Amino acid sequence: MRVKRFDRIKVENDIISEIKKSIVSQRAYIKAESQIVFLFGAKSNTQRTTARDSFYDYTKKHLQDYLFLLAEDFYRSFGDSPVDLLTLEDELASYTDCVLIILESPGAIAELGAFSLKSELVKKILAINERAFMNEDSFINKGPLAKIQKESKFSPVIHAKFESILASIGEIEKSLSKNLQRKRSVKVEFDTYDKFNGANFKKFRLMLVRDLVTLFSPVKFEEILYILRYIYDTDKFLKINFELSFLISVGLIRKEVDFYINTYKHDTYFYSFPDLNIIDLRAKVLNYYSKYSTSRISHLNEDY
């Protein structure tokens, strides 16, 4: 099948062909550390440091085996489009490995109540409750938290003092490690267009799009489409707009003029391809840009 080439620039097809070969031969693995955790809690403000703020700051230095993302960044992925709560919950369940909720605000409590009603989402909830309310005869304790205690793989609920949340970090780390940490990479089969575009493949599709942006950064939207169409030998429409919006919202990539550029851990990828030398491929891409598209290199100067 003939696939339309890049507009104005064509990265050497041997690079794309190597990636295609690994994907269609089912030689792609999601790395053990490629786990997404969404953080819910009180939003940051200038009045005080919230428990979520303290925990999030801690994760950046000490819990780098997981990718922690703030809940509002996920919501921002939908832009100004009106999206109902049920749709948000379904999408959240598709993209996350864990929903960590610190019950320090009315908003977080409301989200807990809504999320606990979704069978696919309740299994992924790690709830952290204020220790002072541990034995209260309340709706929260007897309703959502009781259900999470029973059905979530992150049970039991953790009871902590929010003013010193890091004193409970050992319990939180233990729960994450027990239920999320994998000892090795897991094979992912997305060797056909239908698998790539499948409803159950959203998280894996998101990570593949991010890795392609990382490898070919700076890269245009139509070029990402070209790469994917080349890999899957298709002219069908590929829905990656939400994935790109999501990646921008959570700070994994940025958009500058017409280019998408990786901004997160430049030398790391969510996927591993045993048959590929990804560092060598990236070097080939940069070498090609330096010769034939020097304007792209200027977009990388502040990051590399």
pLDDT at 294: 85
In which band, very low, low, confident or very high, does the pLDDT at 297 lie, cut at 50, 70 and 90?
confident
Sheet strands side by side (includes 125-130): 67-70, 36-40, 98-102, 125-130, 158-160
Instruction: State the Cα–Cα distance between residues 130 and 205, nearest whole angstrom.
Output: 37
Mean pLDDT in residue range 33-49: 87
Q: Is the pLDDT of residue 11 over 60?
A: no
Mean pLDDT in residue range 92-102: 92
Mean pLDDT in residue range 138-162: 95
Run of H or E including 67: strand 67-70
Instruction: State the Cα–Cα distance between residues 147 and 220, nearest whole angstrom.
Output: 46
More confident residue, 47 or 153: 153
User: What are the pLDDT digits (tens) for 215-274?
Assistant: 999 999 999 999 999 999 988 878 899 899 999 988 899 999 899 999 876 678 999 999
Contact 157, 129 (CB under 8 A): yes
Q: Is the pLDDT of residue 1 over 50?
A: no
Pairing of strands 253-256, 259-262: antiparallel
Poorest-pLDDT segment among 117-121, 196-200, 256-260: 196-200
More confident residue, 57 or 91: 57
pLDDT at 9: 43
pLDDT at 147: 96
User: What are the pLDDT digits (tens) for 17-26?
Assistant: 889 998 988 8
94: which residues sit within 8 A by CB, 6+ positions away? Answer: 199, 200, 202, 203
pLDDT at 2: 43
In which band, very low, low, confident or very high, does the pLDDT at 84 lie, cut at 50, 70 and 90?
low
Letter for the amino acid at 304? Answer: Y
Q: Is the pLDDT of residue 55 over 70?
A: yes
Specify the domain boundaries for CATH 3.40.50 within the chain.
Answer: 36-180
Mean pLDDT in residue range 83-89: 68
SS3 assignment for 199-242: HHHHHHHHHHHHHHHHHHCCEEHHHHHHHHHHHHCCCCCCCCHH
Poorest-pLDDT segment among 70-79, 203-212, 225-234: 70-79
pLDDT at 127: 98
CB neighbours of residue 24 within 10 Å: 15
As given in the structure block, the two tokens for residue 194 are 């239908």
pLDDT at 82: 62
pLDDT at 80: 66
Poorest-pLDDT segment among 10-14, 52-56, 130-134, 215-219: 10-14
pLDDT at 45: 78
Run of H or E including 125: strand 125-130
DSSP 4-47: PPPSS----HHHHHHHHHHHHTT--EE-TT--EEEEESSPP-SS
Residue of 251, 205, 261 whose CA lies nearest to 228: 205
**Looking at the whole model, is its pTM more than 0.85?**
yes
More confident residue, 14 or 169: 169
pLDDT at 85: 62
Mean pLDDT across the chain: 87
Architecture of the domain defined by 36-180: 3-Layer(aba) Sandwich (3.40)
Length in residues, the chain? 304
